[in-house]
A and B are shown apart, each in its own frame.
Chain A
Amino acid sequence: MANSITQTDADLLRLTMAGDDQAFTALYRRHQGQVYRFALLMSGSVGIAEDVTQEVFLMLIREAPRYDPARGQLSSFLYGVARNYVLRCIERDRSYVPLIDESEEDGAVPVAQLIDRDDPLGNLTRNEVIRLVRQAVVALPARYREAVVLCDFQELSYAEAAKVLGCPVGTVSSRLHRGHALLLEKLRAVKKSDSTLHEPSPLRCFA
């Protein structure tokens, strides 16, 4: 096999379908990180992320001809497959994800509630920011979570995310906007409870 770095996904996939295990390995190493991190952010579970990564590439081994290059990049196809597996895993094992507050699903947060607030991540250490953001993302309803993960964390364009999610670009944009609003709400709530938790309580003197 020629240098796998310079080969396109289409070339590697063709060789993979012909039984070239080096091509398969190159393809796997090129895409497994994205798939794994997508599943990790969507589920908040390392175990699910591993399972999903394995299932996605097993599917590629068994059903590579299902991928149609005319319909988009291989990475988009893999994200789409990963998304289905993640949602299935989450559905199967809801203990990894807090129950979705249905009231958040459809009700729009008034703009007034989003403004004139404190910086939701101000005065936090970097590790705290990372922990809180990850928790907040996993707690989002799935439809907003996937838009946020794909566009913000995986840095896909709206058009690419729309292909993965099978919806119009405008829907991705509005879900992302709504997802951000929910994230800010959750982060404010967590920060508020944290600050309440850390407020010095009056000590009683028994002397």
Chain B
Amino acid sequence: MNCRDFEMIITTLAREKVLEGITREKSLAHAEACARCAGRLAEERALLAGVQAVVEDIAGESAPMRVEAALLLAFQERAGSSSHVLRMPQSRDLTRWMWAAAAAAILALVSTVVVSRLHGRSFNENNAARELSSGSPAPTTPPERIVTGADDNRRATPGPRRREAGRHAILHHEQGGREIATDFLPLLDGDDLSSLDSSQLVRVELPGSALIAVGLPVDAEMANTPVKADVLLGHDGLARAIRFVR
């Protein structure tokens, strides 16, 4: 082996990567005999030691958690939209509905956190009032209404009757069977739902923990279970009220 041949394999030799046994022996023998090539090998090894120091230095570095959170959100949005989590009337523009529903779900979650603090007291007062009027103990589950058709849908719907047709259409489209729904819970502080001129109802799925946010009792198991909810959107696109459906 001459110096030129040695130079050809020096990178591999210094990296301690697999070399044919005989090639390795010849290379090392050449380095022992040639001071210049021995110096080159030492230099390469010093460089790789520096590289190794960098590898060790950055071994723990990784993308910050916000990247994972953003990606997970993007994944869930994509998975949600492709698995028909949102069930919309077929006559509507699906894209518009999906955007509206996604926005509503986010708004609902944010709003419910605020509402749970601001309305926590009034919600308890409502329960207390029901308890007093019925003479029965306070319910451990949310007030429920059975929604089976036009009539039940009307009962489950707050506010003026002019909104009922649209809602009835959605429910009628979605199921012929029975659904159990809570009352509509306002999401904005002091919002009068009966004052809404127009509205839309959007069916979404939320984690069970969303029930906690509005002050409803949820056990630990249910916190991660998806729950269906209807979000009432005002004409301005803001989520105004939510009810949970089973």
Contacts and interface: CB of A to CB of B under 8 A. Distances in A.
Q: Do A and B bind each other?
A: yes
Interface of A: 16, 19, 21, 24-25, 28-29, 32-33, 35-37, 40-41, 49-50, 53-54, 57-58, 61-62, 111, 114-117, 119-122, 126, 129-130, 132-134, 137, 151-153, 155, 157, 173, 176-177, 180, 183-184, 187
Given A28-B71, A126-B53, A153-B54, A180 B63 contact: no
A130 B67 contact: no
B44 interface: yes
A11 B54 CA distance: 33
Interface stretch (B72-80, B93-101, B135-143, B167-175): B72-80
A116 B36 contact: yes
A19 B83 contact: yes
Give the bracket for the number of chain B residues in contact with chain A.
Answer: 35 or more
A157 B18 CA distance: 10
A24 B78 CA distance: 12
A184 B39 CA distance: 13
Nearest to A16: B75
A21 B51 contact: no
Contacts of B54: 41, 130, 133-134, 137, 153
- B interface, by DSSP: helix, strand, loop or mixed? helix
B100 to A, nearest CB: 21
Contacts of B36: 115-116
A16 B7 CA distance: 47
Nearest to A29: B68
Contact of A177 (B11, B17, B43): B11
A119 B11 contact: no
Most chain B beta-carbon contacts within 10 A, residue among A29, A117, A119:
A119
